[in-house]
Structure 1
Amino acid sequence: MIELITATQLDYFDNIYIEAKEDKVERDDFIITETKRGIEMLRVVKPNYHVPKDNIVEPDGRFVRRATEEDVETFHNNQSLAQEALGFCKEAVVKEGLDMQLVNAKYTLDRKKLIFNFTADERVDFRNLVRVLATRFKTRIELRQIGVRDEAKYLGGIGPCGRAHCCSTFLGDFVPVSIQMAKNQDLSLSPTKISGACGRLMCCLNYEDEYYEDAREQMPDVGQTIETPDGRAVVIGMNILDLVVKVKYKDDYIREYHCDELNAAGGVQ
């Protein structure tokens, strides 16, 4: 299987398509593919690699051939034309009085389709807008309503970690993220601390959640009385990453123990 990307849209292709053309692709190669969106030029972000049987996904399209210099030039020309189309569409949206915010526009490589992505709070009746755009650009028009996460994915940006948004670089499908994940990791529940550029919970909360859940099963809760190597004490804090528990004794003496030490002493009572 090979993994490709264009405008932060990840696609997966079965290696059989490439083998049939006797072409070997490497990272950063450009190839021409046929996807559900149409004929596109994509950049390879991960060349052929083995995929476990349980992780196999349905291919997103068909490999056609390697891209030529002419294809690259056409791609860049299409980008310029798409930007002009985006400006025209924004004016048309205002004239039509539609409550929608355009995110971007993109031509397929053969210019047989012009795709506009937009966000909106409610469903939008854009049938007349499609007619206006089709008359102006003489091609098939497709308007797609996307969510705020998809908008951040297309627009890109820098996260609080100082790196490019995960969704704009390597994430494929969005994984559900819950507030419980932030609680498991003892993070601040302030929306400004755990929300991404899209305004939703940060996708990275999911990355270490499994570890924190497993670690918490080995550790007592704050406020519990446990048996330690030096007697009974109350848990007042913990370091989940290091599996260290902080306790306080009746004489206010505070000490830290590793979970292994507590388990050997009898653990939670």
Structure 2
Amino acid sequence: MYDVVGVRFKKAGKIYYFDPGEILVQKDDFVIVETVRGVEYGKVVTGRKQVEEQDVVLPLKKVLRLADQKDRMIVEENKQAAKEAYEVCCQKVNEHQLDMKLVDVEYTYDRNKVIFYFTADGRVDFRELVKDLAAIFRTRIELRQIGVRDEAKMLGGIGPCGRMLCCSTFLGDFDPVSIKMAKDQNLSLNPTKISGLCGRLMCCLKYENDEYETAKEQLPDLGEMIETPNGIGKVVGLNILERVLQIEYSDLGRVLEFTLDEILKEGVVSIQSTD
């Protein structure tokens, strides 16, 4: 078991675990930590806890110290410098006529590196751009190509639901989302209805997917003939989350609704398929 604290470096960013050592670190503290990128400033979002060896990447980097007001001032200065670097880089991209879109710029805490995030449809030869930027900023330059989902996460925005984008507010990682999830939830397969601002399938399709999969295992399929309190009928409608079935009776010429519990009291769910 290892004592760790969880640290985020960006809002809704991925959580990384660090060894707090003897430092009294609590949730919501700001800390200076050692990372593969160098010294960084982050916020503790998970207080000290013990985790299994398989849940962490060894060797654990250490929390160097608690951040103070001077550190916060350095971070603010870095943010202002990043804004200026963004303008300079945009100008250089235009000069070199590169087919790329600059999304964001980030300085590491110790200013050992400046990272330029961009999107592009394909590969971009930015060697000359890097030379120009290195001459201007006199530090290590990294140009990192990102996808459209990462772009939405960085820029933020308001989703079709009227709320701020999930990816920019609380999602640390992107889970795989498939069109099958939309089908299982009986949603319209119109791309404009199930796509987010990034143009990809909405992340929220994943939220209730496990519940729908569990419900579909319990419920009969559309078209099946099942035993009900009113006799044998055909399933013509399903309210998956409510576990409610609409049953059509050919002899009665009407459709009735039953809950799954009412159907299960009969002891039989599926009789035969009409396929």
Whether TM-score is above 0.5 comes out as yes
| Greater fraction helix | 1
Alpha-carbon distance, 1:61 to partner: 4.5
Q: Deviations over 1:169-228 (max 9, x none)?
A: 332221111000111111121212211121111112112211111110111122222221
1:260 paired to 2:264 = no
| 2:23–2:65 CA contact under 8 A, matched in 1 | no
> In structure 2, which of residues 9, 12, 17 is the aligned counterpart of residue 13 of structure 1?
17
Alpha-carbon distance, 1:77 to partner: 0.7
| 1:104–1:118 CA contact under 8 A, matched in 2 | yes
Counterpart residue number, 1:33: 33
Greater CA drift, 192-201 or 78-87: 192-201
| 1:234–1:248 CA contact under 8 A, matched in 2 | yes
Counterpart residue number, 2:237: 237
Paired residues for 1:85-96 under 5 Å: 85-96=85-96
CA distance in 1, matches of 2:36, 2:165: 25
| 1:184–1:213 CA contact under 8 A, matched in 2 | yes
Paired residues for 1:1-269 under 5 Å: 1-8=4-11, 9-14=13-18, 17-18=19-20, 20-27=21-28, 29-51=29-51, 53=52, 56-58=55-57, 61-250=61-250, 251-265=252-266, 266-269=268-271
Alpha-carbon distance, 1:82 to partner: 0.6
Equivalent residue pairs, number: 264
CA distance in 2, matches of 1:54, 1:205: 32
RMSD (Å) for aligned C-alpha atoms: 1.9
Question: Which amino acid in structure 2 is aligned with residue 261 of structure 1?
Answer: E
Greater CA drift, 207-216 or 156-165: 156-165
CA distance in 2, matches of 1:78, 1:140: 15
CA distance in 2, matches of 1:155, 1:165: 10
Moved over 4 A (4+): none
129 and 162 in structure 1: CA distance in 2 versus 1, 3 angstrom threshold: same
Identical aligned pairs, as a percentage?
Answer: 50
Greater CA drift, 126-135 or 29-38: 29-38
Segments of structure 2 that go 5 or more residues without pairing to the other structure are none
| 1:181–1:209 CA contact under 8 A, matched in 2 | yes
DSSP-derived class of the 1:48 partner: strand
Question: Which amino acid in structure 1 is aligned with residue 64 of structure 2?
Answer: V
CA distance in 1, matches of 2:71, 2:166: 28
| 2:158–2:165 CA contact under 8 A, matched in 1 | yes
Q: Deviations over 1:54-75 (max 9, x none)?
A: 9713278432211110110111
124 and 102 in structure 1: CA distance in 2 versus 1, 3 angstrom threshold: same
Q: Deviations over 1:84-134 (max 9, x none)?
A: 001100110111111111110011111110011111110111111111000
CA distance in 1, matches of 2:6, 2:170: 10
| 1:3–1:10 CA contact under 8 A, matched in 2 | no
